[in-house]
Chains A and B, each alone.
Chain A
Amino acid sequence: MNNNNPHIIIIDDEKGLREGTKRLLEEENYTVDTAENGLKGIELIKKNDYDLAIIDLRMPDIEGTDVLKELKLYRPNTVSFIATAYASFETAVESTRLGAYSYIPKPFSPDELLHQLKQGYKQRLLLLEAERLKIEREKNLLEIAHEKSRLKTIIEAISSGVLLINKEGEVVYYNNATLHKLNIDRLNIGERIRGKLPDKIAAILDSFLVSDEYHDKSVTAQIEIIPQNRLVIDATFSPVPHPDGSFAGVVIVLKNITGFKQVEHIKNEFISMVAHELKTPIAAVLGYIKIILDDTIPVTYEQQHDFLSRSHIRLKSLLDLINDLLDISRMELKTKQREIQKIDIKEILESSLNLLEIEISKKRLEITTDIDYDLPELKADYAEISRVLLNLLSNAIKYNIENGKIFIKIHQSPNHLIIKVEDTGIGIKTDDKEKIFSEFFRAKNKFTRSISGTGLGLTIVKRIVESYHGKIDVESEYEKGTAFTIHLPINK
């Protein structure tokens, strides 16, 4: 449109004037187009974005003012002049009102025309610059709008709650996750939030809002929103400055740490249970050693011997406990190398019974087995399946009565190998049934007091069985007996 030379259109029905002006302007380095009537002029205007336009007011087809209207519509930045021989104040006013830059009375002198066009061209350049700036600004505004919605999308997408509060304590912004984290139904922008906050959060918020000054320090707190660890959050409060550095408000980021807290709780409970279990035998042994070493306490040789053999028993059971703990930990870490091979369940049963022979005969127990003739092959780790049988059988012995019975039944269903170990022992109370598989749980009643155990045997059995995608069931009647049934999937 303007390649250094101003591009101008002359729309006039008077051929002499048209051509004369064109020649004059071309000498002055204008690029000139001409049109002999209004409609042709409009056609050219639609095609080219002229810098300048001279429009005759009176033309045979349409009025110059109509051309001017079209020009304003299509080319608002083209600077236009209305030329007419019938100069009057009214037409001048009318044409500028319609958007003409100026008015040229006919006839005009070349100097007069060139001066006017020069002014007009300056105006044209200003208009183009303004247009350019306007487009640039609009683009920036659009970018800011995009940036805002992008930020909003990001903040909404994060799983942490984000809550912005101004220094008057009013909600300025929050994302949806905030509501879950604080366990509240709704928040309104502009509402004072203090009353809806748990005391601990409100207190920290207050400590930020009391001062008008901006301090660059964050505060983090763990807060229980729903009691008993059912919803615990981690809230980080950070002050937000205005661009000038003054204090604007506080942003609170809320993270759900419930799962973490629950795991931590389980871990702490487990550690304290383990510590207790380890400490109990040590306390007993240390007690004996102290009285043997204490000169002020008279101890006979027989007593000494008795204390040492009891210490021996306690230390052996402590060792069992530590080995059980290590087994559990290995299972948990899955560091134990499994040797999956074809195993013969009958053979495992026999060798387990052999290992327990002394205990069985001590209590004069009667063992009955009922084993399917044609059992499927089981693919599993020999040591693990032995452990399962050994633990179940030693429980059936330990918790049995003198002259009691143990029934062992092994058979198969379409998909499982089923092993059942049943005893005629002390049984399990209904309340205790669901607890017997948890770590360190030992049923406590008049029968169990004299029976020792780590409280980990069934935990280990259950973990092994479940690691083969099997399951274990227990049926029991207190003071009558207990039956454990294990279902191990047959790998075909």
Chain B
Amino acid sequence: MSQPSGDRSFPLPSQIDPVAGAEGWEEMYPYFSRFQPEDDGRFWFYNSMHFPEVVPAFDGITSEVPYTAIGANTARLFSFPTTMGIEYRIVNGRVYITANPVTDPAQIEARLADFQERAGHYYAHWDELYAGWQTRIEALIAEIEAVEVPRLGELDDLSVVLESRGYASNHLLRENFHRCIDLYSKMWHHHTEFLMLGYGAYVVFFEFCQQAFPEMGDQTVARMVAGMDVTMYRPDDELKKLAALAVELDLADLFVEGSEPDKVLSGLAERGDAGARWLAALEEAKDPWFNVSVGDGFYHHHLSWADDLTVPFAALPRYVEQIRAGEDLTRPTERLAQERERIADEYRALLGSEDERAAFDQMLGLCRQVFPYIESHKFYCEHWFTTRFFQKVREFGRLLADRGVLAEADDVFHLRHLEVEEALVDVSLAWASGGAELGARHWQPIVRRRKKILEALAGWSPPPALGPVPDSLNDPAVKMLWGITDETIQTWLGAGDLDADSVRGYAASPGVVEGVAHVLMNVNDIGAIREGEILVCPVTAPSWGPVFGKIAAAVSDIGGTMSHAAIVAREYGMPAVVGTGQATAKIRTGDRVRVDGDRGLVTVLRETP
């Protein structure tokens, strides 16, 4: 970020008040994630897009590792001329970030030459390199799925001796846990490998469109670029197919609103051949398409659909009902593809010169080339890989619980990953020595304390930004990934100017609608959303797709017009206002609100008594 001139400021990091009951929260995160005195002179913003909730101790890895990877790519691999990487800090359980700019013209010049060679290589060989990426990421997923949590029996397996393996199974406690961490790190390097280059192509086309057609909405640019066969839509598509099959097999009566997955599954088991066929189809769809996280893959409690059928099964009744009513739920990809071409053709025709039309075609073509990566990488990285990763860690947690170190498996997520390793050494030693693990006395009070700290921190409202306002915010990474620009900061600063009943954000999907708000802080509560309600949430993830069939409008705290909520809302033709910064803080469930997707304004009409 550029150096601030200093007359306007958000609260400084050092001015943040402690939260009662959360004393000692610092121990949950590594020392290098803490604000330093000199950080008061820099501008930081709350990364609520990725970290809308308080970060548990283990989940600190989801900021530590991604920032080691993205910065390495921009700063050290591709040599982006004007930016190094992103620094992060955690305060009161929330992640704040800032980008490190390169401002020295000589250094920018030097980095530019390398950037052109390196980024040029990737762009010039994009399809071939992306095919290689696909192979690598799938291999990585196979690797994380194959990691075994060792079984520590009374004696090690005979085969270890007969094959003279040379090391006992307690060795694998550390090695295999470490493999999980190593693979997770590698996944994030893969994740960010194409990320900035891909978004870069998009942003350049976007800026061209804005200049040529100042009134063109962001969403229209996205529509010209969006792919048709999008991996992230597949899970929802599979669900719709299952709903159709339920109708076809005369099983529709089992799928009624409010039914628990277990009840539905046992009901199916009693329905003979038809039930068996449906269950077989479910199994077929699950691999790999239910490997989609109910969140964005940054928290351990974001389980996959396969891990917990609540979310997909909450969507099925409505789909079943729609299909019975004769609706066709399949995505009209042919029509969408034609519409995409028509829109692009019409804008091209409106350009003033052959030169501009040629430049438009180049940029649009490049965007469409890179978009399959942008649209699909999340499924492989944040969803499939990450949900498998957390399940493996959970298995190590189960081992720690079985050995008495932890009270229950999920308590493992209240330890930092280095602490988990330490606890595993305890088990390893106890198994080897024939003694007892000493961890129960050590870790269990820590876990209890940290659970209380998390509860206390959940009530804290993090400011959208900290520190002095920069003269201008021009970091490409911040703009591309978080959609944060000078205007965003103005909105945050001006939040006090609006009347108390309104919040302002990006007009992400047009239309105006009034209805009852449902504030959803945690994705696991998604089943509670009722037909016709207005979803108000910190951020939405692709797996929330099904809920969009029910709601009348969507409002989010974070996100730009390329955010998931915006894209899906447009797809469903419902109003959406995103990036409000504070909707979940100002709106309560049951409030009657008006969502104006044309102007980006949400107004509370009458608060619940």
Partners in one complex: no
**A residues touching B (Cβ–Cβ < 8 Å)?**
none
